[in-house]
Structure 1
Amino acid sequence: MDKIFIEGLEVFSLIGVYDWERVATQRLVVDVTLYTDLSLAAHSDKVEHTLNYAEVATCIELVATTSKFELIEALANEMINAIFVQFPLKKIRLKLSKPDILANAFNVAVEFTRENPN
Structure 2
Amino acid sequence: MAVQKRTYARYTLESIILLGKMIRLGRKQRMMTEHELADRLGIARSTLQRMEKGDPKVEIGLMFEAAALVGIKLFESDEREVRALSARTDDRIAVLPKHVYKTGKKVVDEF
Between structure 1 and structure 2, the one with the greater Rg is: 2
Q: Going by fraction, where is helix more abundant, 1 or 2?
A: 2
Q: TM-score, normalised by structure 2?
A: 0.28
TM-score, structure 1 as length reference: 0.27
Q: Pick the structure with more strand per residue.
A: 1
